[in-house]
Amino acid sequence: MTSSRPSIVNTSLSTFAPPPASPQSPRKLRKFQSHQTLTSTSFSTFGQPPATQGVPARQRGALANAAPHDTPSDAQLDSAGRHHSRQRARSNSDTGSSLATPLVTAPPKARRPARKTGSSGYFLKRSGLETFLRDGPADGKLLETLQELRLMVLSNKVDADSDGMSTHRIYLWLVLFAIPPLPTDEYLNLVHRGRSPVYTKIRNDTFRTLATDPLFKRRVTEASLIRLLNAVAWKLHDTQNAKPRSRPSSRRKELLELAIDSPPTIAEEPEGDPGREMSGAIGKGAIYVQGMNVLCAPFLYAARSEVEAFTLFHYFVTKECPGYVRGAMDGVHKGLRLVDRCLEIVDPKLASYLFSKGMQAELYAFPSVLTLCACTPPLPEVLHLWDFLFAYGPHLNILCIVAQLNCMRDAIMQSDSPNKLLRSFPPLEADKIISLTVSFIQKIPDDLYGDLVDHAK
């Protein structure tokens, strides 16, 4: 999370690559070229061709869209600039004269630029986001271009079909988080290590992940979800159990030399001992908590490969919201208290009514805080909301929850038992939630806003 108002997020961009091809089968581990391999063959300056460096972005886009016309080669032109006529002898089945009949080939027609079409066959204009991701920052103005990208996300939806699938969304997220490419082999190595210490816990949760969402079930298999969560668990386990490399002092060196012949204690058990791995994972913090499966689901749904989803999800739980996945879930509980505090400022009457009924956020908002509203369908609207959150900071999810309460205001105020209404929120309307959230930001005092930014650390 960032430490200021939502106009500031990570300010570095990673080299960006064209999207890989779609997977042939969702039940197989998708075998794409790694992002690193793709970017190594792409342009050196964020996809900007060397021949067009320094050219305004609009002109670069026009140049990139233009397709060269086919022209006859030198071998096809004679000295007069005319096409050679091609002749063939008539076959034995042909009637008439046995003389060869000239067959003149028509000059090649100018080929139109390739056009993208949707399922209906209508021409689809290249989106501004696609042009931005292809051309990169103009004239090296990184910060200005990032701000332009955020405004683009805020003012326009990311182009997607009715299922919420977009060719560019996953790369937009990678850019906004400034995540470098990850070699595919690194993910495969984690998968091939087999079951992590929390494998059983993962299997107890994955089968019910967005179980009532047909879009998710049609695209994402339980096996891919298990692989990804298990790989993240191994990665967190390795990080927590890594031995710090420090140079021992002379006194410590003497103690170590004296202890060489002494029997090992529990703390000095061999590193490969499975009991030590389990105790390390529990003592230093959980490597999996219930709810991570739902938080992971949209990443896997939107990504074009498991490697991309793994890279994003691991970064998110370790850099953006590490407090959400620690054993005690401190960040989630802080977020719940912030929901109550923000609601008191934004809508004091509604907050007072809920408090009078004993309805604090801890009783109804825990899933929404932990999963960034991914627990509320429909999934395409969740992805649209995440575009906004990743552009301006995931901490704004707290205000998004307040916005959902504001949308339910009339029904809540007229209900004698609001707990029944708050057991499940109404279907998500991302545009409305984003609009309300932006309007709420100005009402939040600076000290409270600082708490929003820091609550998931």
Per-residue pLDDT for 294 more than 60?
yes
Whole-number Å distance between alpha carbons of 145 and 111: 34
Q: Which residues of 293-303 are buried (b: 16+ CB within 10 A; e: fewer)?
A: bbbbbbbbbbb
Distance CA 26, CA 65 (A): 32
399 in any annotated domain: yes
Same domain, 136 and 214: no
Tell me if 96 is assigned to some domain: no
| DSSP label at residue 77 | B
Residue 447's domain is classified under what CATH number? Answer: 1.10.472.80
Q: Which 3 state secondary structure label does DSSP give 132?
A: helix
pLDDT tens per residue, range 301-338: 999 999 999 999 999 999 999 999 988 899 999 999 99
414 and 378, same structural domain?
yes
Range of the domain at 151: 13-20+30-40+126-177
H or E stretch at 173: helix 169-176
Length of the chain: 457
Same domain? 236 vs 173:
no
- Range in 81-95, 304-318, 397-411, 435-449 the model is least confident about: 81-95
Query: Which whole number is the average pLDDT over 339-358?
Result: 97
What is the per-residue DSSP string for 400-416?
HHHHHHHHTHHHHHT-S
- Whether 80 maps to a domain, the answer reads no
* C-alpha neighbours within 13 Å on the C-beta side of residue 451: 17
Asked if residue 19 has pLDDT above 80, the reply is: no
Q: In this structure, are 304 and 215 located in the same domain?
A: yes
Q: Where are the alpha helices (DSSP H) in 214-320?
A: 214-219, 222-240, 250-258, 274-283, 292-302, 306-315
Q: Do 165 and 34 belong together in one domain? A: yes
CA atoms of 304 and 377, how far apart (whole Å) = 21
Domain check: are 276 and 367 in the same one?
Answer: no
Residues in contact with 3: Cβ distance below 8 Å, sequence separation at least 6, in sequence order = 450, 453, 454
Q: Do residues 149 and 220 both lie within one domain? A: no
Look at residue 107 and tell me if it is in a domain.
no
405, part of any domain: yes
Share of the chain above pLDDT 90, in %: 53
193: its two tokens: 């290590």
**Residue 370: CB partners within 8 Å, gap ≥ 6?**
291, 294, 295, 324, 329, 332
Domain assignment present for 64: no
Q: 301 and 330 share a domain? A: no
Encode pLDDT of 80-102 as tens digits. 444 444 444 433 434 443 444 34
In this model, does residue 449 exceed pLDDT 70?
yes
Domain's final residue, options 286, 320, 354: 320
Of 415, 439, 440, nearest to 343 by C-alpha is 440
| 398 Cβ neighbours under 8 A, 6+ residues apart | 335, 338, 339, 342, 369, 452, 455
Q: Examine the domain organization and report whether 285 and 381 are in the same domain.
A: no
Q: How confident is the model at residue 139 (pLDDT cuts 50, 70, 90)?
A: confident
On whether residue 262 sits in a domain, the answer given is no
Domain C-terminal end among 320, 352, 384: 320
More reliable by pLDDT, 330 or 258 = 330
Q: For residue 103, what are the β-bridge partners? A: 86
Q: Residue 24: its pLDDT value, please?
A: 47
Give pLDDT, residue 145.
Answer: 83
Q: Which of 143, 322, 303, 160 is nearest to 228 (CA)?
A: 303
381/438 same-domain check: yes
What pLDDT is stored for residue 146 in this prediction?
Answer: 87
Look over the chain and give the mean of its residue pLDDT values, rounded to a whole number. 74
Count of domains observed in the chain: 3
Q: Are residues 140 and 170 in the same domain?
A: yes
Of 162, 177, 192, the last residue of a domain is 177
**Which residue type occupies 176?**
L
| Contacts of range 45-49, beta carbons closer than 8 Å, 24 or more positions apart | 45/136, 46/13, 46/15, 46/16, 46/135, 46/136, 46/137, 47/15, 47/16, 47/17, 47/18, 47/133, 47/134, 47/135, 47/136, 48/135, 48/136
Q: What is the CATH number of the domain that holds 228?
A: 1.10.8
Whether the bond between 107 and the residue before it is cis, its omega within 30 degrees of 0, is: no
HSE-CB of 187 using CA atoms within 13 angstroms = 26
Q: Tell whether 330 is covered by a domain.
A: yes
Q: Are residues 142 and 222 in the same domain?
A: no
Alpha helices by DSSP H, 259-365: 274-283, 292-302, 306-315, 322-325, 330-346, 348-356
- Dig out the tokens for 141 from the structure: 């103005």
Alpha carbon distance 96, 448 (integer Å): 96
